[in-house]
Chain A
């Protein structure tokens, strides 16, 4: 007989095992879906997860795709660890891109080593400004940060629409919704000839290192952890909650803003209406799949990035609808949340006694 028993303490081993289990279950369920749709499951999975990264170019594309996801997820983990539900990273990304893109356009056709740092900084500040709105509203007016940050995503996209259609549109561009191309000095340098992977990856890696240090070696990290476990305990301990809330939102916004900078000054090279295929939302999955742990987030961003690439490859070579990529992302989160049950409960095998 099997009995379900509540664990005395959440299991630490299970904590890091469940993401792996979730990925495994996603593969099984994905294979099953392919089978039902009439595709050979193993071949489909091969085109989904192996073929896209089988060569140097494919692998560089994987890193290119994982960079913004990793950067945003690191930022989000500051918020999520401390019980602040910032759902609006997509908006912070967009606003960061708007500010940095605006600065890049100011330097149109100008060259100089100082341009890129200013453009990058502008993006981080843009993201911070935008994240400060839900943070301030939460701390001083007690609003719900989930709603505010989410709604602001749509506001930021409308601002971007307005700018690229109107005042910032390319004067030689027949009024199509796009800006001019940025000058080379305003673009992130490419790391290898012929590949799109750019210096933005160092921003992501820096974020990983810094966040690890903050989480595990600083007082702020400890405060965040305590607030995450119990807000009441944090209050009893005398932590100044407001300051911390605003700080984690600013960090989160800066990371999302930098991700936006990486897209527009990296592979895109201009502002237009569609600068991110919802990285800000997908990064939420990445943050949880990585267990809000900086190293975990690196792996999680690679896993989720491959669902984007795999969906394209599977459609090109096997005519599998590209939207299955999103199904995979959804399944990963679903299985992760479901298997978190194992964190708190365990199965006990009891020998039958007569």
Chain B
């Protein structure tokens, strides 16, 4: 009888303990700071899809949208850290310094900064996606589908992220079609439907029959639809905005990473790291392929996708030459992450100069 009592007492204690731990674990609150509105169908929209995945995993979330990268960012971050949030995702480059500053004041709150490089305190991690892998796929499709051999590319800002995308796109297109030229128009914006549409129009007028973009709005694919040329969706699946023009989209899939990191906080296993995930880890996703693409191209793309995921194929495999013909990556070698992170030269086949 005694034993039974003790046993049941102990087991109920254990049960109580597990319940409490579970309850505490579920109490983790995550916050997200967005640069744009959640309805932009691009960058912020995809981060918000990721946030919803965290909600679906049973955690509470908060978000603040349209936070300018001015002095306001710091206040929003401090308020979130102060109001019971355990992990805060700051989803734009310009939040880098405020994130590190506020992180110093709140050592118990975890901070995750997207696309930055500063981790000044042990509670700051950084994360980004290898979008260039997606652009290898887009380049392969563009090089095959073009008839004019002129491919247009609407770029945002001359930073390594964007240059890397242009290069990986061009290299892949050259591989299937050595005659192609990539024409770039710099829009100097991440999100400005008017400017983006103008840039796309300028490229179409110059004979481009496939348009790629590194800006976030749907204006470019819509312009392509009107002009009867092909285009690719950016950040989210933009097929519904231009069903004839969009051949596929490169989607930013933050959900799995966000759920993973919030769970890590709940389990007490969160640690500082710098994450750079690609197709293999599911952070970069290729949307469904359009039926206008010939079936052999579709098969080729599927295989390339699998090879990029497994690491069998690398987007930057030598020999790679720059515009002047200097060797950037030797034959049989691949570009390392350091080179990719600081990439500020065009590869051969890209037209024009990087704005300085």
Interface, chain A (partner B; CB < 8 A):
57, 61, 64, 158, 161, 165-167, 174-178, 181, 196, 263, 266-270, 272-277, 308-309, 312-313, 315-317, 319, 321-323
Contacts and interface: CB of A to CB of B under 8 A. Distances in A.
Interface in B311-356: 341-342, 344, 355-356
A317 B69 contact: no
A174 B355 contact: no
Given A176-B93, A272-B94, A323-B37, A196 B64 contact: no
B94 A317 contact: no
A64 to B, nearest CB: 7
Given A175-B160, A196-B75, A274-B94, 17 more contacts: A57-B78, A161-B188, A166-B355, A174-B117, A174-B341, A174-B342, A266-B71, A267-B71, A267-B74, A269-B97, A274-B69, A312-B72, A312-B79, A315-B65, A316-B31, A316-B79, A321-B65
Contacts of A277: 68, 70, 72
Interface string B94-125: 10010000000000000000000100000000
Interface in B64-88: 64-72, 74-76, 78-80, 83
B175 to A, nearest CB: 27
A316 B64 contact: yes
B188 to A, nearest CB: 6
A177 B157 contact: yes
Nearest to B82: A57
B71 A64 contact: yes
A313 B79 contact: yes
Interface of B: 31, 37, 62-72, 74-76, 78-80, 83, 93-94, 97, 117, 157-160, 188, 341-342, 344, 355-356
21 contacts: A61-B75, A158-B188, A165-B188, A174-B117, A175-B159, A175-B344, A178-B94, A268-B71, A273-B94, A274-B68, A274-B94, A276-B70, A277-B68, A313-B79, A315-B63, A316-B62, A322-B64, A322-B65, A322-B66, A322-B67, A323-B66
B157 A274 contact: no
Nearest to A321: B65
A270 B80 CA distance: 24
A315 B66 CA distance: 11
B70 A268 contact: yes
A33 B67 CA distance: 22
Contact of A274 (B37, B70, B158, B188): B70
Nearest to A319: B62
Given A177-B159, A269-B97, A196 B74 contact: yes
Contacts of B97: 181, 269-270
Greatest chain B CB density within 10 A among A177, A266, A308 is at A177
A48 B70 CA distance: 21
A308 B72 CA distance: 9
Contacts of B93: 176
A158 B187 CA distance: 11
Greatest chain A CB density within 10 A among B66, B93, B160 is at B66
Contacts of B67: 312, 322
Contacts of A269: 97
A196 B62 CA distance: 24
A177 B342 CA distance: 14
A159 B79 CA distance: 33
Given A174-B341, A316-B62, A316-B64, A273 B355 contact: no
A319 B32 CA distance: 12
A316 B74 CA distance: 14
Given A165-B355, A175-B158, A312 B76 contact: yes
Contact of A174 (B65, B68, B159): B159
A275 B157 contact: no
A321 B69 CA distance: 18
A274 B93 CA distance: 12
B157 A165 contact: yes
Nearest to B68: A277
Greatest chain B CB density within 10 A among A64, A181, A312, A313 is at A312
Contact of B356 (A61, A166, A178, A272): A166
Contacts of A165: 157-159, 188, 355
A176 B94 CA distance: 9
Contacts of A61: 75
Contacts of A181: 97
A165 B186 CA distance: 12
A269 B75 CA distance: 15
A263 B70 contact: yes
A277 B66 CA distance: 10
Contacts of A319: 62
Nearest to A175: B159
